[in-house]
Amino acid sequence: MRLSVAHRSRPKQGEVANGDAALVREEGGHTLVAVVDALGHGPMAAQAAAEAVRCLNSLPLGTAVEPLVEALHAALRGGRGAAVMLGLFDGKRLHCGGVGNVELRTSGTKVPVLPTPGVLGQSMRTLRTVSVAMAPGDRIVLFSDGLTFRVDLEPARRLSPEKACELLMERYSRPTDDATVLVADVETV
């Protein structure tokens, strides 16, 4: 199985720099999907989000999210800090974990992920992770707190990942914050 992924991101209304970021990366049969939400908004938040993406792009992908989150925590230390949700798909299972207030929701297989309290780069408790078997037709949605947590996935259920991102941003993003959504569908190869 593989992931078909799309994402959308935009800065807070009136801003040019975006403190949110989405990442999709494939390596050695693994696909990493992530949404990063740096604290605040504007140029300094954008710099922290970009540093998080650089860090995630530099790390080898295995089957665990713990080393990725630990490296992010170290890379962002002394800076603004960020929240993140990571999903690492190995073709069969989704391994995920997050710190702070970035959400992961699913359609199909239930993924009981509970974000770890804290701020990457500042303070973080022991990372809570989960690993679940996925099936074709499952959908994974990650989003920053720039979207209201009342997000209803049902209206976007039958849409492509691209169209689902557009709909979710249009309906649920808040103009008072940077906003990012990532939609990944599990497909047969």
CATH number at residue 71: 3.60.40.10
Give yes or no for residue 102 having a pLDDT over 90: yes
Residue closest to 33 by CA, chosen among 111, 149, 108: 111
Quote the pLDDT of residue 65. 95
Distance CA 159, CA 181 (A): 14
Quote the pLDDT of residue 159. 97
Distance CA 102, CA 144 (A): 5
Q: Is the dihedral of CA 14, 161, 6, 106 positive or negative?
A: positive
133-159: average pLDDT: 94
Quote the pLDDT of residue 109. 80
Residues 87, 93, 97: CA angle, nearest 5 degrees: 30
Residue 70: both structure tokens together: 């630990």
**Total domains in the fold of the chain:** 1
For residue range 18-52, what is the model confidence (pLDDT) as tens digits?
A: 999 999 999 999 999 999 999 999 999 999 999 99
**For a pLDDT cut of 90, what percent of the chain falls above it?**
93
* 112 DSSP 8-state letter: -
| Number of residues written out for the chain | 189
Quote the pLDDT of residue 108. 84
Give yes or no for residue 183 having a pLDDT over 90: yes
Are 68 and 53 within 8 A, CB to CB? no
Q: How confident is the model at residue 84 (pLDDT cuts 50, 70, 90)?
A: very high
Q: Whole domain around residue 166: which residue ranges?
A: 2-187
